[in-house]
Structure 1
Amino acid sequence: MKNLYQPATAAEVQARLQTLRPDSARQWGTMNPAQAVAHCAASMETAVGDTLPGRVLIGRIIGWLIKPLVLGNEEPMRRNTPTSPEMRVADERDLERERQRLARLIDRFATGGPSACTTHPHSFFGRLTPQEWAVLMYKHLDHHLRQFGA
């Protein structure tokens, strides 16, 4: 299963990230490319432990049930998968600035390996192993890159 601890997978994501343009056509959702990249960077900040969001109620109730459905296979995340309100980006962002921020975070996570991964619970899924974080971060990045055809 692809994950961000695999050097080739991290390089693939970085290359795809570079293909995004401010006018890349959105295939689903409401965010533009800069907002989606900022959203992905915020998620990566959680994965490396820079931010420590609280658990959401619905995640406490069903997160444990959905976790194996999302992380236990090669299937990409579905279009319009919901996100927690605190991770939504609605203001205008600069794509190049957000791209650089996300690229640094991907490198930090990928090269840091499991020891650089947070031990804080995910806001929806709860406790994740470093390997689960690596799979989830790949799937999340892939989801938003596919959103714009990258």
Structure 2
Amino acid sequence: MKSLFETESKSEILNRISKLNESSQGSWGKMEVGQMLHHCQFPLSLALGRYEMKKPNPIMKLVFKSFKKGLYDDKLWKPNLPTAKPFKVEDKKDFEPEKEILIGLVNDFHQEKERKNWDPHPAFGVFTHEQWGKMQYKHLDHHLRQFGV
């Protein structure tokens, strides 16, 4: 799996984001493009310590941990996977501001490529540096594929 810490992979993601426009349509799911751009900000903001997610109850934490490896392995995510409640976006979002914020977060996350210590994820626990980079790439790739770029 590629990593958002890799310069080439970061450039690829930014290039794909630049191909989106206000009329881009998703091949699956309920989000329109502005909502998707906003949704993609949550995991990056969480990793960067700019978004606080409520910790799940112990039973849900066990459920989340059973899916942990799938966040950073080489298997593509299937269309229409359910979205975690804290990351759902139901209200309409303006395309351009959401696109600019996401681009900024991708760049900010990439700047952390030398960082060694990461706070644990509230739902999934500890990730290695490598896993954080792969997970962020995989999430963005999933939604950019959803919108055909």
Q: Scaled by the length of structure 1, what TM-score is found?
A: 0.90
Matched-pair contact (CA < 8 Å) for 1:52–1:120: no
Structure 1: gaps of 5 or more residues: none
Q: Tell me how large the CA RMSD over aligned residues is.
A: 1.8
Measured in 2, the distance between the counterparts of 1:61 and 1:120 equals 15
C-alpha separation between the residues in 2 aligned to 1:97 and 1:42? Answer: 15
Please state how far the C-alpha of 1:56 moved relative to its aligned partner.
2.5
1:52 deviation in Å? 2.2
1:139 CA displacement: 0.6
Structure 2: segments with no counterpart, 5+ residues: none
Distance 2:93 2:116 in 1: 27
Question: 2:97 is matched by which residue type in structure 1?
Answer: R
Which residue does 2:67 correspond to in 1?
A: 66
Normalised TM-score (structure 2): 0.90
**Alignment correspondent of 1:141:** 140
Alpha-carbon offset, residue 59 of structure 1: 4.1
Q: How do residues 104-119 of structure 1 correspond to structure 2 at under 5 angstroms?
A: 104-115=104-115, 118-119=118-119
Q: CA deviation at 1:101?
A: 0.3
> Structure 2: which amino acid aligns with 1:139?
K
Residue 56 of structure 2 contacts residue 122 of structure 2 at CA under 8 Å; is this kept in 1? no
| Partner SS for 1:128 | coil
Q: Greater shift after overlay, 53-62 or 21-30?
A: 53-62
**How many correspondences in the alignment?**
148
Q: CA deviation at 1:130?
A: 2.1
Distance (whole Å) between structure 2 residues aligned to residue 18 and residue 116 of structure 1: 30
C-alpha distance in structure 1 between counterparts of 2:117 and 2:39, whole Å: 18
- Percent identity over the alignment is 30
Distance 1:37 1:108 in 2: 16
> Aligned equivalents of 1:116 and 1:108: distance in 2?
15
- Give the corresponding residue for 2:22: 22
TM-fit CA distance, 1:144:
0.6
Which residue is 1:128 aligned to? 127
- What letter corresponds to residue 62 of structure 1 in structure 2? V
The alpha-carbon distance between structure 1 residues 16 and 116, as it changes in their structure 2 partners (threshold 3 A), is: farther
Paired residue type of 2:48: V
- Which residue is equivalent to 1:56? 56
For 1:96 and 1:78, how far apart are their aligned partners in 2?
A: 27
Deviation for aligned residue 1:122: 4.2
Compared CA separation, residues 12 and 117, structure 1 to 2 (3 A): farther
User: Are the equivalent residues in 2 in contact too, given 1:63–1:126 (CA < 8 A)?
Assistant: no
